Structure 1
Amino acid sequence: MIHNGFSKLADVQGFADSVVKLIGLPYPVFFTYCAAYTEIGGSVLLALGLFTRLDAVALLFTMSIAVYFHLKGEGLHIAPIETASLYALFYLLFAVRGGGVFSIDTALAKWLTRPAQ
């Protein structure tokens, strides 16, 4: 997803014209930046396990919009819908289950809930 975010930033106006306008969202350049920074920042934080559920929900939202775009723009062409759907399902898993035992979220929760000495 980091690569997808950087590719949006490489051609902001092109992505805004070809994708965001097709979806019908207002302010296509603004939403292009929102999607790009969500994909970059959210992916880095998700990999670290910091704010895992929040990151996963934000990335799930961008993937839901990607699925909608592929359905609207290409119809039932399976490959792009399948990829976006798989990413969305992975993000849904992280949104529901959290980051796991090795995440920074878990380490912070243990540190904050430890008994005072």
Structure 2
Amino acid sequence: MSFDSAVRSKLIVPALAPLYTSTDQIVETILRVTAGVLLVTHGMMKIVNPFGAVGMVESLGFYPGVFWSPLLATTEFFGGILVAIGLFTRPASFAATIVLLVTVYFHGIVRAEGLAGAEKSILWSAVFLFFAIRGGNRHSVDARLSRTF
């Protein structure tokens, strides 16, 4: 992001433009790495027992559970690693967004927890949607490979 004179003149504190310019990429990287690591952490128990969520995914209507449960585990664990390092950032983030939108449905509708139960999933799905659209930045493996989806 660059701040030209038109944008700088719209800032309430124009002197902060260099701060915004110099930190936008690193702050975006911190958000991507944090989101990826947290997704890995969330998927750790599922990857240890990839068939442990068979009943839960079938209760949501995803049959056969023996297919969807390992897919969920893989998406969370390995998808989180990919997002954290910035490799295949867009497809991994898109897959995480889909998983998280299902959890919005699960908490908000199936378990009837409403917004209070679904709000974390809504926030996390928005974070991963951001990276599904934006991709990894210059601090990503995708950038090092000069390839992206």
How would you bin the TM-score normalised by the shorter chain? Answer: 0.7 to 0.9
Name the counterpart of 1:15: 53
TM-score, normalised with respect to structure 2: 0.66
How far has the Cα of 1:76 moved from its partner?
3.8
Percent identity of equivalent pairs: 32
Size of the alignment, in residue pairs?
A: 109
Describe the superposition over 1:13-40 as per-residue Cα deviations: whole angstroms up to 9, x where unpaired. 55221x2122111111220100001111
Q: Deviations over 1:23-65 (max 9, x none)?
A: 1111112201000011111100111011100111111111111
Q: 1:86 Cα shift?
A: 1.0
Q: List 4+ stretches of structure 1 deviating above 6 A.
A: none
Opposite residue 21 of structure 1, the aligned amino acid is: E
Larger radius of gyration between Structure 1 and Structure 2: 2
Structure 2 portions without partners, runs of 5+: 1-38
Trace 1:52-91 onto structure 2 (pairs within 5 A): 52-91=89-128
Contact 1:46–1:56 under 8 Å retained in 2? yes
Aligned CA-pair RMSD: 1.8
Give the TM-score, by structure 1 length.
0.82
- 8 Å Cα contact 1:54-1:95 kept in structure 2: yes
